[in-house]
Structure 1
């Protein structure tokens, strides 16, 4: 079952909450925003894969110097 509520009704409901419940709601909304900001999007993943494949191609063509496994791991640590 879906419920529909106008933004005005929602605002009135929020304003009627106790300070403790308003704080709880604010914390949940901020937590949700932080989670959204932390997650990586599909486009970012695809762009990273594309960049990696281009780097492999350039390395095979001799345009880039090959990296050792250690250099690769250090690069991963710097990104994360």
Structure 2
């Protein structure tokens, strides 16, 4: 509740300023700057990549059941990750 009231107060203050067109554009760019950075940093995995990962995992499990592949436990895997640091 306080945040929305503060945002409303800020908006009213900004509207009360006599900003030139150039200053309004600058302000808009500054406000959007943070959202653009977040969008650029966000990575997306395609549906095909997800399905390929699932397929590879299922094939590994099948090989493990057939005795053709040795897999390490999750505990050992995490230990290896810790040791690499």
Task: Give the TM-score, by structure 2 length.
Answer: 0.50
SS in 1 for 2:27: helix
Q: How far apart are residue 40 of structure 1 and its match?
A: 2.9
Pick aligned residue for 1:62 from 35, 47, 67: 67
User: Does residue 24 of structure 1 match 2:24?
Assistant: no
How do 1:1-80 residues align onto structure 2 when only pairs under 5 Å count?
A: 16=22, 17-35=24-42, 37=43, 39-72=44-77, 74=78
In the aligned structure 1, how far is the partner of 2:51 from the partner of 2:68? Answer: 23
Structure 2 alignment gaps of length 5 or more: 1-20
CA RMSD of aligned residues (A): 2.9
Give the TM-score, by structure 1 length.
0.52
Q: How many residues align?
A: 60
Q: Distance in 1 between matches of 2:68 and 2:51?
A: 23
5+ unaligned residues in a row in structure 1: which ranges? 1-14
CA–CA distance in 1 between the matches of 2:57 and 2:76? Answer: 15
Looking at structure 1, the residues matched to 34 and 73 of structure 2 have their Cα atoms a distance apart, in angstroms, of 45
